[in-house]
Each structure stands twice: as C-alpha cells, then as structure tokens.
Structure 1
Amino acid sequence: MPDLEHEEGSKITSITVQKNNTKRYNIYVNGEYAFAVHEDILVKYQLLKGKELNPEEMREILAAEELNRAEQYALRYLSHRPRTAKEMFEYIIAKGFQTAQSDTTVKKLIDKGYINDEAFAEQWIEERMRLRPRGRYLLFQELTSRGIDEGIVEQKLSQILNQEDEIAMIEQLIQKKFRGHTFESEWEMKKKIIPFLQRKGFSLNHSLSAISKIKKEYGL
C-alpha cells in the first residue's frame, strides 16, 4: 500500500468491485491497492478514476469508511430483532470500534428511528404479557439491565400493565402450572405457589389476590 499520508499527487488509478461483496470497492492509488470502501462512501466522496486525493481528504474518507463499517455491522445486528441503545453500543465496541465511533453510530441509528428505547420497552412488555408472563419487578429488571432508563420503564409499565392485568396473568399461570394439583389447605397452596410466582417477578399482594380468587377451583 502506498504511503498516502505523506505522498503528494496521489491519484486514483483504478476501482474494482470486490468479488465477495458487490457493495464494496477496492481503490488503487498510483497503481497500487490503497484501501476499500462501501458504495455509500464511493458515491458520497465521488471517488472516480483520475481523482486526486490529498492527505487530508484521505483521512476524511477513511474515517467515514470506518463509521460506515460500524453502521453496516449495526444494521445486520438489528436485522435479527430490535436492540436498545446500550445493547448496540456494546456490540459495536465488541467489534473493535472506538468509543467515539460507537457513540456516533448509535446516535445516527436513533435519529433514523432504527433504535428507540421507548418502543423497545413497550414491545418487550407486551410480548412478555402475551407469551411469557412476568411480573412488574422482573420486567423492570429485564429492561433496565438492557440499558433502558428507569423512568421510561416505569412509565411503560404503568401504561401497559395495570393491577387487574397482572392479577389476571397470575391466575392464568397458576391454572396452567398447577392444573390437576390438589392442596390440603389454603396455606399449603400458598406455600407451593407463591415462591413460583415470586421467581417470575410478581408481587406478594397480587399473588395473594389471585390465589384468593381461584382457590375455590381447588376445593378450598
């Protein structure tokens, strides 16, 4: 690779498409391979055969290419499922990018609407309620551990998961988990069921309310 930082009169002499990735291009300067860029960078900086590049322009292009690489990694990561800002930042760092590059990439994705912690929290709570019921305490821990602000989590929990919904979820969990069980007393029922519910993040008060409502189904 030529020393582009110190070489004056650096001229692009050839541009070729990479065989394994048609969105990336190899750039040759003064007859030698110099660097590769994504097509977005090729277009943005109008990299054409015969274009002269000075060291300052080269630094800008290479910096932009690094940010573009980080964004491409991020978009692939997002293709599997939504991510929080914290999850994305940590992922990009793990890929070897600098803190500033990771921070810039996350902010760009937020501005584009690809990352939205409020929407993530809302979707997470709704899916848990529908598919894998969890109590308020566990939902709070799950979301804050992913970097979502506590205030956002509290707000979404208050909007989506009211007391009646939580008690109804508890009733359904009990009926599913303990279908066919018999209990000699209400005390025995509480002794077996409450620890199960607490592991799923449900409060004692709500658990007791649900048990009180369905205990007749168990002959108590």
Structure 2
Amino acid sequence: MTRRTHWPDSGEYDAAPVADGGSTDSGGPSPSRAGDGPPRTPEEQARAICLRLLTGNPRTKKQLADALQKRGIPDEAADEVLSRFEEAGLIDDAAFAGAWVESRHHSRGLARRALARELRTKGVESTLIDEAVGQLDPEQEERTARELVDRKLRSTRGLDRDKRLRRLAGMLARKGYPEGLALRVVRQALEAEGTDDPDLLDDYLPGD
C-alpha cells in the first residue's frame, strides 16, 4: 500500500518547535535549559530546527531558510547548515518539486500553471520547476481536465447553458488549465451529453 505524502500548508512549518522542546513563539532560538550543559552554538540550534522541521514532511531550502531567519539564526550559521543538509541529501528541491507535482496533480487535479505557481511560493528555482511540471505532458493534463469536468457535470444540470459553461470552464481555470483547453473540454463534454449549443459556445472560444 503506497504511503500518501502529507504536504503541509504554507505556514505550517513556522509553528514547529525546536528539537530541545523550547517554545518558538518569541521568534528567536530557545536557550538551553538549566542543567542541559553550555548554550548551543547557532549551528547546533539551526541543525536541530531543520531536523525537527524535516521530520515527517519534506521542505524546500527556502522554507528552511525562512524558518531559521524567523528564529533569529545568523545568516552565516544558517547557510552553513543548509549547505551541509543539501550535501547529505536531506534537502533536495528537485525531488521536492517532482513529488509535489505528482501528488497535487493526482489529488487536486492541478494543471502545470497552478503547480508552477505553488512551487514558486515555496522558493523552488525556475529551472527545477520547469523540470518538475514537465512530468505532465499535454495529453495527461487534458485527460485530467476531462475527468474533472465529468465529475462536475451532473451538479450543473438544471442551470442554463451559459451558466454551465462559465462554471465548468471557471473550475478548470482556477486549477491552472489554459483557457483554450478548458473551453474545448467543456464543449466536448456538453456535446457528449447532448445539451450543447454550438452558437453559444463559439461565443466563448478565444479568437484567432
């Protein structure tokens, strides 16, 4: 049985505790408690924070860097620890992007445009984003769009054709599908249902 990857919300990592159990509400690294030995170095604190954040969920380098900055870790210490984590394979933005695309496309039906936008917000480099969304070929993207429309089609019955077209095409647009593809898929679905009005739908097709 395949284990489903849990993808955190965009702000989830900001609230994670550091490894020594101290609170991070103040925004700075937690000092060692009495009896725990000498205060930890910034590098040790950064390493503990990163390990805790990576437990159970993958993170991008930018997400970890932002978390370290928010906790008051000096830039030099943060850069050193993040570089070591990259060398050890604990941070791998390419793998993160690839897994993100696969998971979000299959679970949410997101198209390449929406997936690229999400990865940009997580600090993934453009070249890695291009490689990741390239996993989805145009045929796969269109198949998913058709499946989304087929699932939504029944719930639009009873509405006039204009509203059905707008609602279905709008649903695909919100998931990142290009306008031309969205309208073509919706038109074909309505034709198959036998309720298509070619004159009406032609009004919504993009011009040449």
Q: Secondary structure at the match of 1:82?
A: coil
Match of 2:186 among 202, 207, 211: 211
Q: String of CA shifts for 1:88-133, please: whole Å, max 9, x gaps.
A: 1001111110111111111111111011111011000000111111
1:190 aligns with 2:165: yes
Which of the two has greater strand per residue? 1
1:85 aligns with 2:61: yes
Contact 1:166 1:206 in 2 (8 A): no
Cα deviation for residue 180 of structure 1 reads 4.1
Inter-CA distance 199–134: structure 2 relative to 1 (3 Å threshold):
same
Contact 1:168 1:210 in 2 (8 A): no
2:163, 2:110 → 1: CA distance?
Answer: 23
Contact 2:42 2:74 in 1 (8 A): no
Contact 1:167 1:209 in 2 (8 A): no
1:3-152 matches, within 5 Å, as 26-27=36-37, 35-36=38-39, 65-152=41-128
Q: Which runs of 5 or more structure 1 residues have no equivalent in the other structure?
A: 1-19, 28-34, 38-64
Aligned to 1:171: 146
Q: Which runs of 5 or more structure 2 residues have no equivalent in the other structure?
A: 1-20, 22-32, 196-208
Query: Which one-letter code corresponds to 1:69 in the other structure?
Result: Q
Residue identity over aligned pairs, in percent, reads 23
Q: Which of 1 and 2 has higher RCO (CA within 8 Å, sep 6+)? A: 2
Q: In angstroms, what is the RMSD of aligned CA positions? A: 2.3
Task: Find the structure with the greater CA-based Rg.
Answer: 1
Q: Report runs of 4+ in structure 1 exceeding 4 Å deviation.
A: 24-27
Query: Which one-letter code corresponds to 2:98 in the other structure?
Result: E
2:154, 2:57 → 1: CA distance?
Answer: 34
